[in-house]
């Protein structure tokens, strides 16, 4: 028999927002707007928006979220000086990797870019659902 694991509430200053989007390319812009509105005044807003864009585009290009009828979810968490962004997709055949693209390659730099602007990033999931997360802020040490 399994028992549910209770989620412990975050600090009283923790704010969390989540929104689902249809799996259409135009929704990357909507996800950036959603994030920018919530994090107005955030010192690392440009870096966070870049990460959201890269994670959403990857979900649309490399997972079932970008297929007809697909969807993805963006979750933003703000706690003290830390911002966490997470994009959950509908899974795909390969695992997310921060690969090095060739000088002439037109794509393949998304997760490498996220790894450079975020304090840390990671993922969990499988071929049915996957979440890729990036963290920013003073609680983890400022990203370059």
Q: Mark residue 117 as left, alpha or beta (left: phi above 0; alpha: psi -120 to 50; beta: remaining).
A: alpha
All domains of the chain in start order, with CATH: 15-93+107-139 (3.30.565.10)
> What tens digit of pLDDT does each residue of 20-72 get?
999 999 999 999 999 999 999 899 999 999 999 999 999 999 999 999 999 99
Neighbours of 139 (CB within 10 A): 13
Query: Could you tell me the sign of the dihedral formed by the alpha carbons of 22, 27, 28, 34, in that order?
Result: negative
40-68 burial code (b ≥16 CB/10 A, e <16): eebebeebbbbbbbbbbbbbbebbbbbee
> What tens digit of pLDDT does each residue of 70-89 get?
999 999 999 988 999 999 99
Token pair recorded at residue 132: 């890729």
* 8 A C-beta contact, residue 31 and residue 71: no
- pTM of the complete model: 0.82
């Amino acid at each position: 028999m399994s028992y549910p694991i209770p989620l412990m509430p975050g600090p009283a200053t923790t704010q969390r927002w989540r929104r689902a989007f249809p799996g259409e390319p135009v929704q990357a812009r909507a996800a950036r707007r959603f994030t920018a509105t919530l994090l107005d005044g955030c010192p690392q807003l440009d870096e966070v928006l870049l990460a959201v864009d890269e994670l959403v585009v990857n979900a649309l290009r490399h997972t079932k979220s970008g297929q007809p009828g697909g969807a993805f979810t963006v979750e933003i968490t703000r706690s003290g000086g830390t911002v966490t962004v997470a994009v959950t997709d509908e899974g795909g055949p390969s695992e997310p990797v921060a690969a090095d693209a060739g000088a002439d390659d037109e794509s393949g730099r998304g997760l490498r870019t996220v790894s450079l602007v975020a304090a840390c990033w990671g993922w969990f999931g499988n071929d049915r659902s996957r979440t890729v997360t990036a963290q920013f802020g003073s609680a983890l040490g400022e990203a370059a």
